[in-house]
Structure 1
Amino acid sequence: MSNTFKIIVLAGAYVSFILGAGTATGQEIMQFFVSFGYLGIGAIIIAAVLHMWFGAYAMDVGVRLKAEDSKDVFVYFCGKYLGLFFYWFSQLFILVVFIVMISGAGATISEHFDLGDVIGRAFMAILVLITALLRLNTIIKILGIAGPIIVVFSVIVGAGSFDPAGFSKSGEIINGINLSTATSNWWQAGFVYSSFVLLVALPFLANLGKGEIKRKDVIIGGSVGGLIMLVGVFAIYIGILSNIEQLHTKDIPTLFLADQISPALGLFFSIILLVAIYTTAVGMLWTVSTQFSKGNSHKYRIITIVLTIIGFFGGLFPFAKIIDFVYPIVGYIGLILIAGMLYRQFINKGKIGIKTLETLGLNKNIN
């Protein structure tokens, strides 16, 4: 596999993992960025810089640490006790996000195909379960290919829905409607959005890096993945903001935008949304199952099936409500993890070697 293709696959896998139901449907973007009007652009820029940084850095540490357990990665960044807290907290939140994906699938299928959310949740849960039982290499290839496709169609729907007249009036309209906001200030939104993404992405990114040899590939792949992700976010942002008066009550605002452009595009984009949900849900399920199975394939299958059942029944909760309540809280907690990573990279820059790992209680010798 050439270096260029490897970088594309890594970037695509990163994008697919985090560009799931909340982002591709527009719910996260509406609450974190659109709710602040034009200032949301500043929040997106902050988030873009952070996504590019931690995408590259987390995969690079994965290459060098070669941790068998993502617990080691959290301990490396935050120390033994705080690292253990973040490890367990991230596993719990990843499971919550998995439930959000299943709920999002139900909402998408119910809103566009009118088949009911139970059928949508069951369909997605079964598909994700089958995929998660496959090998990691297969999962990474699926994620790597799907990521760029999801972004392209998100840009088409978002940019294609841009209305200069609606955009110019959006600030006034937002002041007159009851729109949920994830944080109290626009600049906080960029940090909080990135920190909750980091909490779920860190184990996956470290695992991606662990399987690679060349640090340059993962650093570029992580940076490109973070940038591509936020290009898609910005396109959806301007599309929603231009049409906020019609969209502020919608569970799936991007699907409404696609329908407005063309019914055919709406149908196709509903499938793209399901692909986005599917790729993220697969990554979430695989990450948690891998951590708790500890390499035991029988245990992995049992845990995967149990978590899928939990995700199906947990998906009964309303999609938008889960995002509104859970994501901002987790985002604020995740800021501590960002601080730990910044400290480790820019202040305590020690190489990952015997002394560093023994101090942290890890037993690996990395060059």
Structure 2
Amino acid sequence: MIKQTGTGLVIRLAATYVGAVIGAGFASGQEILQFFILYGYKGLLGALVSAVLFAYLGAMALYLGVKLRAGSYQELLSYLMGPWAGKFMDILSLFMLVGGLGVMLSGSGAVVQEYLGLPQWVGVGVALLAVFFVIMHGLTGLLNVNVILVPVKLAAVCLIAGLALAARGLPAELPFINQHGVGGHWLWSSLLYVSFNMVVPVAVLSSMGRSIDKRTGIYAGILGGLGLGFAVAMVTIAGLAFYPHVTNYEVPMLYMASGVSASLRPVFALLIWVAILTTAIANAHGFASRLAPAGGKRYRFFGFAVCLAVLPLTLLDFSFLVRLLYPVFGYAGMALFFSLLLVPLWKFCKR
């Protein structure tokens, strides 16, 4: 396969990385509230740590994918964790991708039902059709749809956060209240946040090892990681401007958007749906590329099959699925997080 290069590919890869992370939890603001805002201004230190880690880990996943000429994340896991632990993490990651896809499709139905008053199955069906369309076009379809949708949702998140901050301004003093924050400490919370959000990107990015060169992968990983860190910081700052009232809402970004202008509500609903869609696409691609690294008919078959297999999950409540699965995903991802963070450095020093 001829390797692709160029600035356009860097941007598409970076957009794919961002799209795999910014899902319903991020766009709603609930993730940022729990992992960063509840730590007051120290949450901004956590945002800085997450930006550095996202940039490093994204670049490392792409670099190793190219080095190993990986067609799926299985090769990367074996390299990082050895054959036995890598096989266990491989199976665990498959379940996490399936569960994440089910959560995203359920979330799509919930958004359509809540904001448009339409039956939940309409939102699920539209999202399914969009995922099917991208899977039909393989890796090219994944990259192209992300380069269109991801900048839109990233810009929308930052715009809403910026307008909210301009409307309120930061308070001179902010109580440091962290008893409800994830992890109990701002630093551990930021590490958990990155761990929680790296499983899907690693599955997606490492599958591109046969299609890009090392320099392109490194630049894309850094660009995508810094973009994620910037978005985290913007939402955190905006949340601090609305603190402590923002802590009382299930969808903090909606509260902030409504505080600026009522007309932002439908924009925010669209933002949530786009965020859900791009993450659902990333999950489906990660699963299909693992079972059919070469793409083609088998790739499309597994992509379609996993979408149909998770339909029973869409009958469950979206918030219930988030509460049930997300904490499990976060702690399960710690093994991959520390392996990707430390093993390449250890092997380099040993060599």
1:204 partnered with 2:201: no
State the one-letter code of the partner of 1:44. Answer: A
Cα deviation, residue 295, structure 1? 4.3
> Which structure 1 segments of 5+ residues have no match?
357-367
Question: Residue 330 of structure 1 corresponds to which residue in structure 2?
Answer: 329
Distance between the aligned counterparts of 2:292 and 2:314, measured in 1?
A: 24
- SS of the counterpart of 1:79? helix
Question: Cα–Cα, structure 1 residues 247 and 319, in superposed 2: closer, same or farther, change >3 Å?
Answer: farther
Question: Residue 285 of structure 1 corresponds to which residue in structure 2?
Answer: 284
State the one-letter code of the partner of 1:141. Answer: N
1:65 partnered with 2:68: yes
Question: Cα–Cα, structure 1 residues 30 and 320, in superposed 2: closer, same or farther, change >3 Å?
Answer: farther
Question: Residue 59 of structure 2 corresponds to which residue in structure 1?
Answer: 56
Q: Provide TM-score, normalisation by structure 1.
A: 0.85
Cα deviation, residue 242, structure 1? 2.6
Count of aligned positions: 347
Question: Residue 259 of structure 1 corresponds to which residue in structure 2?
Answer: 258
State the one-letter code of the partner of 1:189. Answer: S
The RMSD of aligned alpha carbons is 2.6
Any residues of structure 2 matched to 1:85-124 within 5 Å, and which?
A: 85-124=88-127
- SS of the counterpart of 1:347? helix
Distance between the aligned counterparts of 1:123 and 1:248, measured in 2?
A: 32
State the one-letter code of the partner of 1:343. Answer: L
Range with bigger deviation, 249-258 or 87-96:
249-258
Distance between the aligned counterparts of 1:245 and 1:104, measured in 2?
A: 26
State the one-letter code of the partner of 1:200. Answer: V
1:5 partnered with 2:4: no
Cα deviation, residue 116, structure 1? 4.2
State the one-letter code of the partner of 1:211. Answer: S
Question: Residue 183 of structure 2 corresponds to which residue in structure 1?
Answer: 183
State the one-letter code of the partner of 2:317. Answer: P
Question: Residue 76 of structure 1 corresponds to which residue in structure 2?
Answer: 79
Q: Provide TM-score, normalisation by structure 2.
A: 0.88
State the one-letter code of the partner of 2:49. Answer: I
Question: Cα–Cα, structure 1 residues 171 and 325, in superposed 2: closer, same or farther, change >3 Å?
Answer: farther
> Which structure 2 segments of 5+ residues have no match?
none
1:32 partnered with 2:35: yes
Distance between the aligned counterparts of 2:331 and 2:277, measured in 1?
A: 27
Question: Cα–Cα, structure 1 residues 130 and 165, in superposed 2: closer, same or farther, change >3 Å?
Answer: closer
Distance between the aligned counterparts of 1:119 and 1:10, measured in 2?
A: 30
Distance between the aligned counterparts of 1:63 and 1:294, measured in 2?
A: 14
- SS of the counterpart of 1:181? coil
Range with bigger deviation, 34-43 or 17-26:
34-43
Q: Percent of aligned pairs with the same residue?
A: 26
1:220 partnered with 2:219: yes
State the one-letter code of the partner of 1:197. Answer: N
Cα deviation, residue 79, structure 1? 0.9
- SS of the counterpart of 1:84? helix
Any residues of structure 2 matched to 1:147-162 within 5 Å, and which?
A: 147-162=150-165
Cα deviation, residue 83, structure 1? 0.9
- SS of the counterpart of 1:263? coil
1:171 partnered with 2:194: no
